[in-house]
């Protein structure tokens, strides 16, 4: 099949229409098996230094890319020669078509019609990857992969036709953020060194309490992304109450969104509670958890894992079915991209069918039908005297949630944490000879006034909060 040269290409990729532009100065070659890339090969006076992109070598030239590509294809040790493309004409990351395509036919398409279309484009089936779905490769008689995808997408029986690309992540200019207590936040980046104890002036936790790399890889993620996260990301934190006036939660005044008290059906998520003897106290846990997840970038304090993210604080201090259901439904209805919570009874208590089905619905239907990731702590009732796995909280064993157990700053299991086959991962917090997480907290000294402050000793169910930086599909 004759193939007309295409310099710009617009087609559907990943459900969105993308625009690609062919490079005028770069080509990519793959060498025959057993041949090493010839990065120092002399390919002409107009050719610049080459670079490696997985099993392709990117060849740079100052002009005449089509002629250069023809020369490369003619070399006996070159098996594939192809153009390099850039998304939206942005010269930050090269996209090289591998010669493979992913194709889905519309359900009900007869196999004889599928094979006829593949033959028309001289495509070979490499594997069947699903019902009516194939991974195929082009041949010398096929259009180039880009052109092939564009033509296939016009066929009535085609649901998806996408070229496979090889690329590499871009390197972003990024300045690591600062904060008064960021050096104490070992869970962001555990260097194995001593850190200041913010609760005690001039005191430190010694290096014996730390193991390099026992952290949530947060600073590493910031550097990789070149950002502190998206302001469009909303994290629903279901917990016992929140001091929304804390600088780490208040931020620029727009961090808190759609506060909800699941017990009273109000917007009052304050950390106050009434004790059995009539006295008042405050829950600090929700404030600390929310700050670990998304504490605002404030040089006077700590830094959350996703400090640009918004927080949907949901107070749940009564574990009734009705309140639990309303908490999860509120998160979904208000556009939560992530839900994180520390629900759990001291002893195994089965979830009611209503609660079970609600969690299932939110996990599947949240984010406009994409599904909402739900992270739930395994629970803290594993006794230190018997460090054997015990039953995980029934909330965390739900098949549609991510169950998170606890590990400490020495990369050891925290003795209090439940463990078991339901666990998705273990994440850093305190325990054993490890060090607690430095984060925001709230206290009261007179029973009347909230005091926004910080602590170096937070732990246990805080363990899952750093996961809030994970990119969402």
Name all contacts of 216-219 with Cβ < 8 Å and 24+ positions apart.
Answer: 216/187, 216/188, 216/305, 216/427, 216/428, 216/466, 216/467, 217/189, 218/187, 218/188, 218/189, 218/305, 218/466, 218/469, 219/176, 219/188, 219/189
**3-class SS of residue 349:** coil
Low-confidence winner among 177-186, 260-269, 365-374 (lowest mean pLDDT): 177-186
Find where tokens 């299932």 sit: 360
Q: Is pLDDT of 305 > 80?
A: yes
Mean of pLDDT values over 282-303 = 92
What sign has the CA pseudo-torsion 141, 143, 149, 150?
A: negative
User: pLDDT: is 55 or 8 the higher one?
Assistant: 8
Distance (Å, whole) CA 71 – CA 302: 58
pLDDT of 163 reads: 93
Q: What is the DSSP string of 400-441?
A: TSEEEEEE-TTS-B-TTS--STTEEEEEE---TT--PEEEEE
Please report which confidence band the pLDDT of residue 6 belongs to, taking 50, 70 and 90 as the band edges.
low
Low-confidence winner among 220-234, 260-274, 315-329, 457-471 (lowest mean pLDDT): 457-471
pLDDT of 388 reads: 47
Q: How big is the CA angle at 458 (ends 454 and 463), to the nearest 5 degrees? A: 130
Helices (H), 89-134: 111-120
Please report which confidence band the pLDDT of residue 384 belongs to, taking 50, 70 and 90 as the band edges.
very low
Domain 182-469, CATH homologous superfamily name and number: Peptidase S8/S53 domain (3.40.50.200)
Residue 192 DSSP one-character state: S
List, in order, residues 6 or more apart from 159 with CB less than 8 Å away. Answer: 104, 105, 106, 107, 132
Distance (Å, whole) CA 124 – CA 114: 12
Q: Is pLDDT of 425 > 60?
A: yes
Find where tokens 């942005």 sit: 90
Find where tokens 């607690």 sit: 436
List, in order, residues 6 or more apart from 249 with CB less than 8 Å away. Answer: 242, 243, 255, 256, 287, 290, 291, 295, 296, 311, 313, 440
Please report which confidence band the pLDDT of residue 392 belongs to, taking 50, 70 and 90 as the band edges.
low
User: What is each CA distance from 273 to 179, 270, 316, in whole angstroms?
Assistant: 31, 9, 11
Low-confidence winner among 9-18, 154-163, 331-340 (lowest mean pLDDT): 9-18
pLDDT of 168 reads: 65
Query: Are the C-beta atoms of residues 131 and 107 closer than 8 Å to each other?
Result: yes
**3-class SS of residue 232:** coil
Q: How many CB atoms lie within 10 A of CB 206?
A: 10
Closest CA to 392 of 426, 363, 355, 360: 426
Q: What φ, ψ does residue 195 adopt, rounded to 5°? A: -135, 155
- HSE-up (13 A, CA, CB side) for residue 85: 24
Please report which confidence band the pLDDT of residue 462 belongs to, taking 50, 70 and 90 as the band edges.
very low
What is the token pair recorded at 411? 């990369």
For the stretch 217-258, pLDDT in tens is 999 888 888 888 888 999 999 999 999 999 999 988 899 999
Q: Is pLDDT of 386 > 50?
A: no
- Predicted structure pTM score: 0.65
Query: Are the C-beta atoms of residues 356 and 370 closer than 8 Å to each other?
Result: no
Low-confidence winner among 157-161, 343-347, 366-370, 428-432 (lowest mean pLDDT): 343-347
Closest CA to 242 of 328, 366, 342, 381: 342
Distance (Å, whole) CA 131 – CA 128: 8
Query: Are the C-beta atoms of residues 23 and 65 closer than 8 Å to each other?
Result: yes
Distance (Å, whole) CA 272 – CA 448: 10
Distance (Å, whole) CA 331 – CA 142: 49
Low-confidence winner among 88-97, 177-186, 194-203, 242-251 (lowest mean pLDDT): 88-97
Q: Is pLDDT of 26 > 70?
A: yes
Domain with CATH 3.40.50.200 in the chain: 182-469
Find where tokens 């010398």 sit: 140
Mean of pLDDT values over 340-346 = 75
Distance (Å, whole) CA 148 – CA 97: 11
For the stretch 126-142, pLDDT in tens is 999 889 999 999 998 99
Helix (H) or strand (E) holding 288: helix 285-294
């Amino acid at each position: 099949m004759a193939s007309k040269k295409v310099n710009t290409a617009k087609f559907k990729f990943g459900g969105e229409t993308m625009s690609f532009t062919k490079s005028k100065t770069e080509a990519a070659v793959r060498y025959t098996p057993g041949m090493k890339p010839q990065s120092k090969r002399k390919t002409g006076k107009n050719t610049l230094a080459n670079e490696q992109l997985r099993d392709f070598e990117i060849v740079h030239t100052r002009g005449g890319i089509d002629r250069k590509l023809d020369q490369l294809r003619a070399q006996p040790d070159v098996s594939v020669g192809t153009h390099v493309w850039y998304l939206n004409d942005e010269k930050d990351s090269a996209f090289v078509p591998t010669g493979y395509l992913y194709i889905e036919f519309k359900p009900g398409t007869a196999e004889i019609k599928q094979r006829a279309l593949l033959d028309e484009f001289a495509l070979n089936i490499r594997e069947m990857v699903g019902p009516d779905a194939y991974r195929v490769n082009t041949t010398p008689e096929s259009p180039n992969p880009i052109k092939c995808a564009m033509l296939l997408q016009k066929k009535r029986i085609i649901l998806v036709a996408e070229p496979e690309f090889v690329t590499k992540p871009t390197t972003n200019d990024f300045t690591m953020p600062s904060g008064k207590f960021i050096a104490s936040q070992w869970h962001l980046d555990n260097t194995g060194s001593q850190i200041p104890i913010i609760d005690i002036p001039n005191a430190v936790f010694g290096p014996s309490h730390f193991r390099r790399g026992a952290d949530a890889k947060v600073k590493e993620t910031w550097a990789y992304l070149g950002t502190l996260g998206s302001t469009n990301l909303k994290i629903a934190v279901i917990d016992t109450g929140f001091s929304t006036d804390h600088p780490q939660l208040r931020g620029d005044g727009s961090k808190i969104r759609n506060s909800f008290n699941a017990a009273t059906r109000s917007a009052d998520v304050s950390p106050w509670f009434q004790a059995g003897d009539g006295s008042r106290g405050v829950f600090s846990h929700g404030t600390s958890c929310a700050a670990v997840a998304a504490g605002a970038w404030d040089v006077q304090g700590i830094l959350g894992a996703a400090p640009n993210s918004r927080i949907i604080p949901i107070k749940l201090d009564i574990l009734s079915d009705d309140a639990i259901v309303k908490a999860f439904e509120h998160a979904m209805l208000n556009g939560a991209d992530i839900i994180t919570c520390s629900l759990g009874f001291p002893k195994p208590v089965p979830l009611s069918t209503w609660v079970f089905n609600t969690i299932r619905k939110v996990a599947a239907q949240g984010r406009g039908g994409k599904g909402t990731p739900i992270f739930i702590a395994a629970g803290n009732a594993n006794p230190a005297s018997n460090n054997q796995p015990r039953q995980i909280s029934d909330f965390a064993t739900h098949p549609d949630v991510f169950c998170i157990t606890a590990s400490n700053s020495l990369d050891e299991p925290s003795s209090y944490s439940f463990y078991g086959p339901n666990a998705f991962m273990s994440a850093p917090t305190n325990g054993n000879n490890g060090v607690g997480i430095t984060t925001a907290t709230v206290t009261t000294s007179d029973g009347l006034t909230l005091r926004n402050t910080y602590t170096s000793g937070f732990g246990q169910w805080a363990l899952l909060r750093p996961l809030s930086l994970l990119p969402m599909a």
